[in-house]
Structure 1
Amino acid sequence: MSANAPTPANATAGRRYRGVSNEARKTERRMKLIDAGIRIFGTTGYHAATVKGICQEAGLTERYFYESFANAEMLFTACYLHITDTLKARLQAVLLSMDDEGLAHATATGLRVFFTQFKEQPEAARIILVEVLTVNRHLEELSLKTLYSFVDMLETLARPLIEQAKQGNKGEGQSAHLDSTLLASGLVGSVLYMAARWALDGCRQPVDHVVDNAMLIFTGVGLSLLGPER
């Protein structure tokens, strides 16, 4: 190849700096912006945030912001998905480790994971409980879709209990009308509103106290389905 020939695009993309590829550095910068976005959006709010302020928080220039995001809305969406994907992964790990005899323990562990994330990162609580509803219709729909995904996860817990209750009552009376999706939706809704109130108060109460209160709701449902002997 001639010394004056242009460098192929794939060669430029593959260049390394101090042993780190361009793509790896871009990914690292993107994550810095997401971390900064969570801090800014979760403290000042989406509508008060600026690209300049987020870049200053991340220690990057605006050039690198637009390398990964077209605007603040796209960054907010990435922040929201990072928070909820992390939370879902942790909750799924709890579900995968659950056994039939440890349902109450698994439920309490899942609730503890949920509330602990908000305790350790109150900015995340504001983003997924408040700010996501103020941006635009697209983010509202994303929030609803995410809510349904949590309902689906909880339904995996509720469905066996409902089926057992129906069989025990031979499909008669109140048990005949039980719906695992509706029941899971109600449980998720109660936990979210509890989390919102707790976050509004600055997460002052210990996580274990909040979990104990939430477990009263889940225990009440379990007793209604299976009776006190369970």
Structure 2
Amino acid sequence: MPLAARREERRARLVEAAFELFGTQGEAGVSVRAVCRACGLHARYFYESFADTGQLLGAVYDTVAAELSGRLLAALAAAGDDRAVRVRAGIRTVLDFSSADPRRGRVLFTEARANPVLAARRQAAQTALMDEVLHEETRTRPAVDPRLARVSAAMFTGAMVELAQQWLSGTLGDDLDAVVDHAARQLAPHVA
């Protein structure tokens, strides 16, 4: 196996170990020693890929966010062009992805608020989501006032983050269909 491939394989093992530790124990469970022990690598291999655990946690966040993004794009593509159907598909995908494996939700929404590296990643992800929603708004409604489109995109993005946090905390119950239905009805006047 070429050296570059071995390095990439070791890096992937470190990220996977950190995902498991962070997702089950939180930031306190992620140390160089704990991650290396979990994936069976020497610390020198950690520093081959990462300067510190902050960089590693950033890689964990990026990995989980990219997986969510891929699933979200696939769900939206399958939903077609009907705006209401696309909104429902988006809400369902985010909530289902985040709760199907609680480690994902912890990385993306709950623990990401306290850690500065993850908070910065989360802010960048929120901005990217807002830009995508804004693009979708102007694509499907070209005559919409740009300021109103930006306000709608900001509100939708903020609402989705809060909805995900509340869903993951269990305060919305455990019926995903009911939560998606209610959220979609709340947004219906804005997506029709």
Q: Do they superpose with TM above 0.5?
A: yes
Q: Are 2:99 and 1:130 equivalent residues in the alignment? A: no
Question: Which of 47, 50, 57 is residue 38 of structure 2 equivalent to?
Answer: 57
Q: How far 1:47 moved relative to its partner?
A: 3.6
Structure 1 Cα separation of the partners of residues 32 and 134 of structure 2: 40
Please report the TM-score for the alignment, with normalisation by the length of structure 1.
0.72
SS of 1:179's equivalent in the other structure is helix
Q: How far 1:207 moved relative to its partner?
A: 3.1
Please report the TM-score for the alignment, with normalisation by the length of structure 2.
0.85
Matched positions, count = 192
Which fold has the larger relative contact order, with Cα–Cα distance below 8 Å and residues 6 or more apart in sequence?
2
Q: Are 2:2 and 1:25 equivalent residues in the alignment? A: no
SS of 1:60's equivalent in the other structure is coil
Unaligned runs of 5+ in 1: 1-19, 167-175, 224-230
Give the partner amino acid of 1:183.
S
Asked if the contact 1:42/1:126 (under 8 Å) is kept, the reply is yes
Asked if the contact 1:191/1:214 (under 8 Å) is kept, the reply is no
Report what 1:120 is aligned to.
100
Structure 2 Cα separation of the partners of residues 132 and 28 of structure 1: 26
Asked if the contact 1:133/1:140 (under 8 Å) is kept, the reply is yes
Question: Which of 93, 110, 129 is residue 150 of structure 1 equivalent to?
Answer: 129
Flag the structure with higher helix content.
Answer: 2
Q: Give the stretch that moved more between structures: 54-63 or 178-187.
A: 54-63
Q: How far 1:81 moved relative to its partner?
A: 0.9
Identity of aligned residues (%): 26
Asked if the contact 2:61/2:118 (under 8 Å) is kept, the reply is no
Structure 2 Cα separation of the partners of residues 160 and 69 of structure 1: 40
- Runs of 4+ in structure 1 over 6 Å off: none
Query: What is the root-mean-square deviation of aligned Cα atoms in Å?
Result: 2.6
